[in-house]
Amino acid sequence: MAGFGKDSTTDEVLAGIDLHGKRVVVTGASGGLGEESARALASKGAAITMAARNPEKNAAAAARIRETVPDAQLETRELDLASLASVRAFAKGFLAEHERVDVLLNNAGVMACPHTTTADGFEMQLGTNHVGHFLLTGLLDPALGAGSRVVELSSGAHGMADVDYDDPMFERRPYHPWISYGQSKTANALFAVELDRRLRPRGAAAYSVHPGMIMTELARHFTEDTLKEMQEMRAERAARHGGAAEESPPMEFKTVEAGAATQVWAATAPELADRGGSYLANCTVGELGGDIAQSGVAAYALDPASATRLWTLSEELVGEALFG
């Protein structure tokens, strides 16, 4: 593996990479990690489809990218992952104009929001972070060929919760914003496991990524209470991994350029060609059972049986079988 780490930036991990002739789809491209990923990949010649819920913000992000990458090949398209109808409309419009997706970067998401539901009645975090991306990826499946990669943005927050298959939408159990977020991030990692298994025969791959802690618009729902709850849960998680329950691990924030580095590394690094299904963090392959705040990953987030179970549930939620 290349000698990258937690402070490596997008430009550093893409050094020497040529993406001319490649088509990349980035969800949540109107700001934060999505915008930075789009910029970095465009700077290497990739043609970028910037997908976002707000067309005005998406256009503004594209304009900012062109300020630093004047010859960037960019198109903007509207996509609301909290609406299956919007996902279907996006996929239909995209496939009418493009035959191939070389990289699908499922970057968009919501975090620790108050309890609400999507247009289709799903709990907002699982519905947006996982179900919307599941349908999007399935509808774009015809465009995923040999060499294509799908990158799912997971998080170290997967350590807060496994998927509750008995009540995934919090219809019976009390809603907790961080348990909900953790469940959705575990779902992202499990989706990459099963998706990679299904893509492997055609020479494509899928990965999940923990970007680290970065202050972007994803934190728009943070309050003093949610931050306190997060610190308490991080302390409890540290205790489960051998630390002291009363001690919360220090919160280390990355720059946006370092935060987006692992996902563009996942999208392009030659050394990852035979590591499909992996959980990646700090530009390295995650350590099973290691420190989840750094590069570790919980065993349940990579469990093949759970990944298959999640796939079945996801098809039931979107109302159709996907990927042939």
Cβ neighbours of residue 204 under 8 Å, at least 6 residues apart?
144, 145, 146, 147, 148, 149, 150
Residue 23 DSSP code: E
Give residue 253's pLDDT.
83
Mean pLDDT per block of 10 residues along the chain (324 residues) reads 86 97 98 97 98 98 98 98 98 98 98 96 98 98 98 96 98 97 98 98 98 67 51 54 50 88 98 97 94 92 98 97 83
| Nearest by Cα to 10 from 250, 1, 206, 32 | 32
CA distance 194 to 186: 13
What are the angstrom distances between the C-alpha of 23 and each of 91, 207, 311?
14, 18, 26
Residue 257 DSSP code: H
Give residue 222's pLDDT.
46
- Active-site entry in 165, 175, 181, 300: 181
This prediction's pTM: 0.91
What are the angstrom distances between the C-alpha of 61 and each of 50, 262, 280?
9, 21, 26
State which H helix or E strand residue 252 sits in.
none
> 193-209 as b/e, with b when 16 or more CB fall inside 10 Å?
bbbbbebeeeebbbbbb
Question: pLDDT tens digits for 70-108?
Answer: 999 999 999 999 999 999 999 999 999 999 999 999 999
Residues in the chain: 324
Give residue 3's pLDDT.
82
Question: pLDDT tens digits for 9-23?
Answer: 999 999 999 999 999
Of the CA atoms within 13 Å of residue 229, those in its CB half-sphere come to 17
Can you name the residues that pair with 48 across neighbouring β-strands? Answer: 24, 74
What are the angstrom distances between the C-alpha of 121 and each of 18, 87, 126, 163, 219?
42, 15, 11, 18, 23
Residue 181 annotated among the catalytic residues of the structure: yes
Residues 185 and 310 sit within 8 Å (Cβ to Cβ): no
Q: Is 183 exposed, middle or buried (0-12, 13-18, 19+ CB in 10 A)?
A: buried
CA distance 158 to 281: 13
Q: What share of the chain is helix, strand, coil (3-state, %, to 5)?
A: 45, 15, 40
Q: What are phi and psi of 289, to 5 degrees?
A: 80, 5
Task: State the angle between helix axes of 261-268 and 32-42 in degrees (0 to 180), rounded to the nearest 10.
Answer: 40
Give residue 231's pLDDT.
53
Residue 129 DSSP code: I
Domain range annotation of the chain: 10-221+255-318
The CATH fold of domain 10-221+255-318: Rossmann fold (3.40.50)
